[in-house]
Amino acid sequence: MKATTTIASSSSGTPVAHNAVPPSATSAARANRVAPHSHIKGLGLTAEGFSAGDAGGFVGQANAREACGVVVDLVKSRKFSGRALLLVGAPGTGKTALALALSHELGSKVPFCPMVGSEVYSSEVKKTEVLAEAFRRAIGLRIKETKEVYEGEVTEITPSEAENPLAGYGKTVSHVVVGLKTARGTKQLRLDPSVYEAILKERIVVGDVVYIEANTGAVKRVGRSDAYASSFDLESETYVPLPKGDVHKRKELVQDVTLGDLDAANARPQGGQDIMSVMGSLVRTGRTEVTDKLRREVNKVVKQYVDQGVAEVVPGVVFIDEVHMLDIECFTYLNALLESPMAPTVIFATNRGNALVRGTTDVVSPHGVPGDLLDRCLIVKTETYARAQIAQVLQVRAQVEGIQLGPGVLDKLAEEGERASLRYALQLLAPAAILARMAGRDAIVIDDVDEMGGMFLDAKTSASALAQEAGM
Ligand SMILES: Nc1ncnc2c1ncn2[C@@H]1O[C@H](COP(=O)(O)OP(=O)(O)O)[C@@H](O)[C@H]1O
Ligand SMILES: [Mg+2]
């Protein structure tokens, strides 16, 4: 049985030029979302908290992983408040990766808010304001609502074009027909052009599982239907089963927003359609700036939501890389932030040994962090990698990026990694793969690596080359 339903979007439905991605495009478009840490799925520890060989996308680094596992336990049992984790180690030893893995271990929808110490130096915003905002963005709010939705696996996306009555040439989309399939049935929906715009924006293609809110026309991509799951162990895509029940139903929706999102949405009430639909007109002031007063008002509403059982607070992780770049003012403020009742888990990272604390003239302290903050930190050191481990990381990355390595290439790259740095070797992967493809080969061969090594220098080689020229 097939029924056709029309959803008119609440917005005025301005005509959209139909010139973007053709809807038949496969999920190849999504392949380019592979981020440098996409292979990291967790700390890869056993139930007893020991590092179980190479797991969770992690290679080696057993000590640091186990230490982070202890921190996860502390956070979960709420014994980590007022403290912070400080990761120290040479560049490219997986500090950022560990922080990310730690946040994965805390739960799948836990907000992770990374920043770099030097981000606080802006001429427009106060240093402390930057830190406060990062902390707000690391506190999630999970809001449950029951809504009328259409949910299912997309079986077709067919936009219908019509002559544009206003502009002479060009066509506009008059409506779009979307087919949705669930375990129980299928349904064809005739939708407003603004919904089509949302579909293009979310990069939805046939085979994705989506839901469309009936009264707002907001479209959400849940994941890819597991009928399309590939056999790779490591992938950046999330696969979901075919939804049960009817296409048209009432569904408990869980929205994850952060306090930072709410602050911003309330300061600029025109943007953030999703969030505003959740919180309604939360504070509705004419304010255009996030102030402490606005934050307190948002907190008040959030507290009401929590008391009513509608929302749940999910403390996330704030990750401050290059923490030695902060200055004494920031460190003092951090002490205060750490003690606030709704603080996220705080992780710092640095590759400095003893350093001058910025903003002072004579205070030299380990890692450039003043003593009173250091006292609150658990310090974990990451080890540098041996060649075998570099090879393993490269292997995992090649797999995630879908790059095939010819005979001997892994050894060659690992050698480069040991000589220069792990990051350098990782960076050679992608250009070498392009070179191989241009030559019509599927796999990278040693010559590709050599050629790339000649083209893109590692830091040590390029610096010594310049020094030589200057010496002549
Ligand atoms: N033990 C490891 N296992 C798997 N991948 C790793 C490991 N250590 C580092 N990497 C990867 O190597 C790259 C550099 O590590 P990164 O975490 O950025 O180093 P750092 O933050 O210490 O400078 C990243 O792509 C990271 O995911
Ligand atoms: Mg890093």
- The finding on whether 92 has its CB within 6 A of some atom of ligand 1 is yes
List pLDDT tens digits, range 406-445: 999 999 999 999 999 999 999 999 899 999 999 999 999 9
Tell me whether residue 18 is in a domain: no
Spatial CA neighbour of 460 closest among 420, 424, 426? 420
- The finding on whether 97 has its CB within 6 A of some atom of ligand 1 is yes
Enter the pTM of the model.
0.76
End-to-end, the C-alpha distance of the chain in Å comes to 82
Of the residues 381, 399, 418, which one is the last residue of a structural domain?
Answer: 381
Q: Do 361 and 322 belong to one domain?
A: yes
Confidence of residue 2 (pLDDT cuts 50, 70, 90): very low
- The finding on whether 393 has its CB within 6 A of some atom of ligand 1 is yes
To the nearest 10 degrees (0 to 180), the angle between helices 95-105 and 62-76 is 40
Tell me whether residue 30 is in a domain: no
Of the residues 255, 284, 299, which one is the last residue of a structural domain?
Answer: 255
Max CA distance (Å), the chain: 82
Least confident piece of the model among 205-214, 288-297, 343-352: 288-297
Q: What is the chain's mean pLDDT, rounded?
A: 84
Tell me whether residue 199 is in a domain: yes
CATH number of the domain bearing residue 77: 3.40.50.300
Spatial CA neighbour of 34 closest among 322, 434, 430? 430
> Which residue has a Cα nearest atom 17 of ligand 1?
94
Q: Do 151 and 248 belong to one domain?
A: yes
pLDDT at 190 over 70: yes
* 3-state SS assignment for residue 187: strand
pLDDT for 235 equals: 59
CATH number of the domain bearing residue 148: 2.40.50.360
Tell me whether residue 285 is in a domain: no
Round to whole Å and give the CA distance between 429 and 472: 34
Segments forming the whole domain that contains residue 320: 62-138+316-381
List pLDDT tens digits, range 99-124: 999 999 998 889 999 999 999 998 88
Confidence of residue 284 (pLDDT cuts 50, 70, 90): low
Residues with CB under 5 A from ligand 2 (ion): 96
Q: Do 117 and 150 belong to one domain?
A: no
Q: Which ligand is nearest to the CA of 94?
A: 1
257 CB-near residues (< 8 Å, 6+ apart):
140, 141, 143, 275, 278
Q: Do 376 and 391 belong to one domain?
A: no
304 CB-near residues (< 8 Å, 6+ apart):
none
Q: Are 425 and 394 in contact (CB under 8 A)?
A: yes
CATH number of the domain bearing residue 445: 1.10.8.60
Which is the closest atom of ligand 1 to the Cα of 95? Answer: 22
